[in-house]
Amino acid sequence: MVNVIGLGYIGLPTALMLASHGIEVVGTDYNKALVDSLNAGVPTFKEDGLDELFKDAVDAGIKFTNEYQHTDTYIVAVPTPYDKFSKKVDACYVKAAVNNVLNVCNAGATIIVESTVSPGTIDKEVRPLIAERGFVTGRDIHLVHAPERILPGNMIYELVNNNRTIGADEPEVAGRVRDIYASFCKGEIVLTDIRTAEMTKVVENTFRAVNIAFANELSRICRHDNMDVYEIIRICNKHPRVNIMNPGPGVGGHCISVDPWFLVGDYPQLTKVIGESMKVNDSQPDFVLERLQVIMQENNIKDASRVGLYGITYKENVDDYRDSPTLQLLESQERHLAAPLKCYDPFLENMKLTESQYSDFDAFINDVDIVVVMVKHDHICHNWDRLKDKIVLDCHNICPLPNTYRL
């Protein structure tokens, strides 16, 4: 039996996928309300295909509880934030989960850490914890790092089809864990050591963050000299070895906006490009706010409450709002003591995150003169006609209306 610890955006679909493919699974989370919801048959977030997968897993016998289980295999999928000052990974949730596992696990149990951590975290944080409890790694406890590699909005497909990495001390343990994931994973499963597995996951997200920062910096250069960044990128991408991303309003979520900081925190003198890239991405919501202020002046709109931010989630077509650019922008605006910007998100109509958030799209549109498209949900692409009499600041270059400003 596999006990999956942490039933959030990664742990829950992983547990459901394992259960629906013949593995006995118990999902554990400290959040009683979350567990109660799952036991009532209600998944705790929206995702294409999740409801069907949930039903399959329940039919297969998956269980949800607040209790850690007596078993020989654990998957730890808990958050790994970073310290805002040192930029180092905060492994407190991983350590707490492992500590609780050690209270109940069978002798020779395997602990698989899926949570993203900086290279060396398991050596520096987890192994000493195991030793302090009197266990011997490699005999009483086997450690594995199998970093998740899925994207909200496409989780189910990517769980099945993406390649995976298994880092372990012992080849035979790596092989056993590979067999668990191979119950559903059709991608290549690469076996390596733990520290390499830690590094590869952080590097993947850092690569993406640096490329996003390059596009965002291009948008600022082009705006400064009144050039069309989108046309420039379009032409540059005709070169066979160039593939520049489009700029956007910032970076959110719990991967690209967080993981690269782990490297900056651990290697501050060696991560000049990465550190500056993260600063560019973190300041992009401020760039959007500055652009908005110019547009307001050009159109003689002095009341910020007549501005609406469309989209609060960190990416399109999901309900995940963790560290979203919109929330970053609102926090920045509050520091300037301006009137609160209105906001709306079709995926969060039943969840109020700010006082100025609307639950109805029509009411939102009727109460604003400027709409800032922060998230390119499919919903807005079906409703451009509702914005034809509005001023639009399009942060994604998708709006077809003539009354549109761009980054």
pLDDT value for 228: 96
Q: HSE, CB side, 13 Å, CA atoms: give it for residue 369.
A: 11
| pLDDT per residue as tens, the chain (407 positions) | 999 999 999 999 999 999 999 999 999 999 999 999 999 999 999 899 999 999 999 999 999 999 999 999 999 999 999 888 888 999 999 999 999 999 999 999 999 999 999 999 999 999 999 999 999 999 999 999 999 988 888 999 999 999 999 999 999 999 999 999 999 999 999 999 999 999 999 999 999 999 999 999 999 999 999 999 999 999 999 999 999 999 999 999 888 999 999 999 999 999 999 999 999 999 999 999 999 999 999 999 988 899 999 999 999 999 999 999 999 999 988 776 567 899 999 999 989 998 899 999 999 999 999 999 999 999 999 999 999 999 999 999 999 999 999 99
User: How far apart, in whole angstroms, are the C-alpha atoms of residue 19 and residue 7?
Assistant: 14
Which strands make up the sheet holding 189-192, listed edge to edge?
A: 63-65, 25-28, 2-5, 73-76, 109-113, 141-145, 164-168, 189-192
Which are the catalytic amino acids? 201, 255
User: How far apart, in whole angstroms, are the C-alpha atoms of residue 371 and residue 29?
Assistant: 39
Best CA proximity match to 105, nearest among 133, 73, 144: 73
Q: Phi and psi dihedrals of 139, rounded to 5? A: -125, -60
pTM of the model: 0.92
CATH topology of domain 205-406: Rossmann fold (3.40.50)
CATH topology of domain 2-192: Rossmann fold (3.40.50)
User: How far apart, in whole angstroms, are the C-alpha atoms of residue 301 and residue 279?
Assistant: 30
pLDDT value for 54: 97
Whether 27 contacts 38, CB under 8 Å: yes
Where in the chain are the domains?
A: 2-192, 205-406
Encoding tokens for residue 197? 């597995």
pLDDT value for 350: 86
pLDDT value for 84: 82
